[in-house]
Structure formats: structure tokens, C-alpha cells
Amino acid sequence: MLEKISSLEAIRYFEASARLLSFTKAGEELHISQSAISQKIISLENSLGFKLFHRRPRKLTLTPDGEKLFNASREALGILTNTLRSINTRTLEGSLSVVAAPSIVSKWLLPKLPRFYLKHPEIELAIKVNIELANPASWLPDFKSYNTDIAICFGKLDLEELSFIYLFDDYLFPVCSPGFLKENPISAPQDLNKVPILKDSNPKDFFTCNWNEWFQKLGIKDVDISRGYSFNRLDLLIQSAINGQGVALGRHSLVADDIEEGRLVKLFNEVPSGQFHLVTLSKLAENLRIKAFIDWMKGEINA
């Protein structure tokens, strides 16, 4: 039966498609077109002599045979990946895959990367984003499937196979641009009733900027936040505040640089809201590139 599988590449395409249940998302992850993924899967199905997916309008599901092959392929690819990682740990030179939520990458990590390059030009960083990565419960069980060396996550899980390194506590507080504050004097929380409010359109998500959380922790009442705009990405919400379009509830992790550089001003008291960690597979903790990234990150935070 193995001779019917034309290449390891076909299994990689299948594993990504089965994990994501989308040829389009699999193509994005593997940096090839949706049509190339689809054709490769059809070729694999023809070679094996059975269907791997049920193809329905706007929905892709695994067949029973596909489910069995997915479980086996995920395990096999995980073994190969971890073996190669363990072999390739004796030098700093090489690649390092870092994954985080989109807003963390754009607002927190990217501004720091030039300093990492100056310190470690021999390490080639591969930065990936995944909207679910803020919540460890949603993705850490599949850590190996993402071909990830290290991730930046919000929260922590008690899993022996994973190593968590504390980074910092996060906080919530309102922010706006200096120009907006000049045109709209705000001296008390009740003044927020007079201005546009910038909101997270997913306030119940794990990693969010939830106005109600800030109000409740400070005992603030009688503030209407129904006016303004909502965004499904926190980096866009913050950019709207920088553009002078209203008051946003900011996270320290996402707005600290903008405050320091004068693009935003902090309005009122902060409230604690979670912790950030670096996470990697415990068995990779001695990887020289991972250790170099962790040490550099700790230095950035303590600077």
C-alpha cells in the first residue's frame, strides 16, 4: 500500500487539509494555491483507491478512512519533525518558527525583531500567525502539528510535555490619541458618554479588550459604550484610536510602544488581565536557537 503514496509531500498536504478541514486554509499554511492542494488530494485518493474527504458546499469533512489516515499521518509527521529538531539543535545557525496571535505579532513582536536580528543574524525567524493562538486550550494539544518551535501565548496549561516561560502580566486601560483628547476633554470615566467608543467585536474571546471587564473591576457604572465602532482584530482597534477616531480599551502588551512614542495617551487606571508566556515542547528546551530566543525575549522585557 505504501507504494501507492507518491511522496511525503502528499501526506503533508493531506494532514494540513484534514487538520484545518479546508483546502484554502491548508494552501495558505503551506504557501501554495488552493487548487494545487485540491489536485494533490485527488491524486492521492486515486492512488489509494478510496475517498479521504466528503466534499459538500462550503464544508469539508473526513471520511472514516480519511479519519484513520489523518491520525496516522499526524503521528508520523510529528515523529519526523521532532527527530529532525532533536538532530538540529547543536548550532545557533538555522531557522526558528515562532507563532502568535495576529495582534501580538503586529503590535508587540514586530517592533522588537530588528534588535533580535542584530544579536542573532545567524537565526532565520519564521513568523506565523494564528487567530486561535491567544487561547492555549484551543491549540496546544496540536502543538506539533503546527511545526512550531516556540509560541507566544496568553495563559498557561498544566501539561508535562510543554514548557512555559513567564513573560509579563497584562493590563487593561482606556487610551486615545493626543489630538482626540485635545478636542474632547476627558477627565472622568463618565465623560466617555460623550465620545465614540472603539470596541472589540468579540468581547467574550479569551484574549480580548472587554470594556465591561474594566468597568466591573473598577466599579464604574452609568457609562454607555453603544456608540462608535467595533473591530474583530485588536491591532485594527488600536490603529483606529491612533487615527483619532475614538477611545479604545487598550492592553499594555499592545499599546505600550504607542504610548511611549506619543501616538496614544493613557486615560484612567489600569486593571490586571492575564499573563503572557513563551511555550515550547519540553523536549526542545535545550535547543540552542530556542534558548537564544527566550534569553533575548527576557532581556527585552527587563530592559
Q: pLDDT digit string (tens) for 56-88?
A: 877 888 888 888 888 888 877 777 766 666 655
**Domain span holding position 297:** 93-166+275-302
Half-sphere exposure at residue 268, Cβ-oriented, CA atoms within 13 angstroms: 20
Measured in residues, the chain has a length of 303
Residue 73 belongs to a domain with what CATH number?
1.10.10.10
C-alpha–C-alpha distance, residues 266 and 256, integer Å: 10
Q: Please report, for the domain that includes residue 290, its CATH number.
A: 3.40.190.10
Residues 263 and 285 in one domain: no
pLDDT tens-digit readout, 109-151: 888 989 989 888 888 888 887 665 555 555 554 565 556 788 8
State whether 74 and 209 are in the same domain.
no
Whether residues 160 and 283 fall in one domain: yes
Please check whether residues 81 and 22 belong to one and the same domain: yes
Band of pLDDT at residue 175, cut at 50, 70 and 90: very high
Residues 81 and 106 in one domain: no
Per-residue three-class SS string for 216-250: HHHCCCCCCCCCEEEECCHHHHHHHHHCCCCEEEE
Using an 8 Å Cβ cutoff, are 128 and 157 in contact? no
Q: Alpha carbon 142 to chain centroid distance?
A: 14
C-alpha to C-alpha distance for 67 and 260, rounded to whole angstroms? 51
Same-domain check for residues 160 and 30: no
Residues 159 and 298 in one domain: yes
Same domain, 82 and 9: yes
Q: Indicate if 114 and 190 belong to the same structural domain.
A: no
Residues 186 and 239 in one domain: yes
Strand 150-154 versus strand 162-176 pairing type? unpaired
Identify whether residues 209 and 128 lie together within a single domain: no
Query: What percentage of the chain carries pLDDT values higher than 90?
Result: 13
pLDDT at 50 > cutoff 80:
yes
pLDDT at 204: 58
Structural domain count of the chain: 3
Residues 280, 253: one domain?
no
C-alpha distances (whole Å) from 142 to each of 11, 78, 133 are: 17, 10, 11
pLDDT band at 2 (very low <50, low <70, confident <90, very high): very low
Q: What is the pLDDT of residues 225-256, one digit of tens each?
A: 878 788 888 888 999 999 999 999 988 989 98
